[in-house]
């Protein structure tokens, strides 16, 4: 039969730091990401992958898999609190969850295609470029939406496409 890949150990990670220094730095990094997760409601994955590469020198593909594994815990603990506070709407979250699971599979396939198509250096540059592009788009949308609180309607709420789900205003 097919052999299963073994789990990597700390000694297998090719990073700028090693041993206890790497563990301490990762613990501090995880704490910082956890605070940002609680503060902004993000799972941290959009920052974790590029920062593991840039700060620690960890290979992108190892960073992607590691990010997915650890953000499960951070997201689940944050979600548990918001479920208790009833800060969610079941139908819209079910649709979002299903679509994001499909998106994760498609994203993983795209990641493999980038690696195969560009080689190691091209892959790293493509990943850096994608991350910078996402950050710039997020910054632009945040900046242009800054006055939207007074108008009470988001960019997508102004598009008349059904089906519509009404969420309570904050």
- Under a CB-based contact definition with an 8 Å cutoff, are residues 49 and 67 in contact? yes
pLDDT over 70 (residue 149) = no
How much is the pLDDT for 170?
Answer: 55
Residue 42 has pLDDT above 70, yes or no: no
Most confident of 24-28, 83-87, 155-159: 24-28
What average pLDDT does the segment 93-121 reach? 89
- In Å, what is the CA distance from 158 to each residue of 106, 151, 163? 29, 11, 14
Cα 133 from Cα 50, distance rounded (Å): 12
> Which percentage of the chain shows pLDDT scores above 90?
8
Q: Between 64 and 110, whose confidence is greater?
A: 110
Q: What is the mean pLDDT of the chain?
A: 78
SS3 85: coil
* pLDDT tens digits for range 13-31: 666 777 888 888 889 988 8
Whole-number percent of the chain with pLDDT over 70:
73
pTM: 0.62
Round to whole Å and give the CA distance between 108 and 111.
5
Identify the three-state secondary structure at position 154: coil
Averaged pLDDT for residues 108-123: 90
């Amino acid at each position: 039969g097919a052999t299963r890949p073994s789990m990597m150990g700390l000694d297998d990670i090719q990073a700028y730091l090693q041993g206890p220094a790497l563990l301490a730095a990762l613990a501090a990094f995880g704490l910082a990401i956890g605070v940002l997760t609680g503060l902004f409601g993000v799972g941290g994955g959009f920052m974790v992958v590029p920062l593991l590469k840039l700060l620690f020198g960890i290979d992108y593909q190892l960073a992607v898999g590691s990010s997915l594994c650890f953000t499960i815990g951070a997201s689940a603990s944050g979600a548990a609190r918001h479920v208790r506070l009833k800060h969610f709407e079941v139908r819209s979250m079910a649709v979002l969850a299903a679509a994001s699971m499909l998106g994760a599979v498609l994203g993983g396939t795209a990641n493999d295609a980038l690696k195969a198509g560009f080689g190691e250096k091209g892959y790293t540059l493509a990943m850096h470029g994608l991350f910078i592009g996402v950050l710039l788009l997020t910054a632009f949308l945040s900046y242009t939406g800054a006055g939207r609180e007074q108008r009470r309607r988001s960019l997508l709420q102004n598009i008349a496409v059904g089906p519509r789900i009404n969420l309570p205003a904050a």
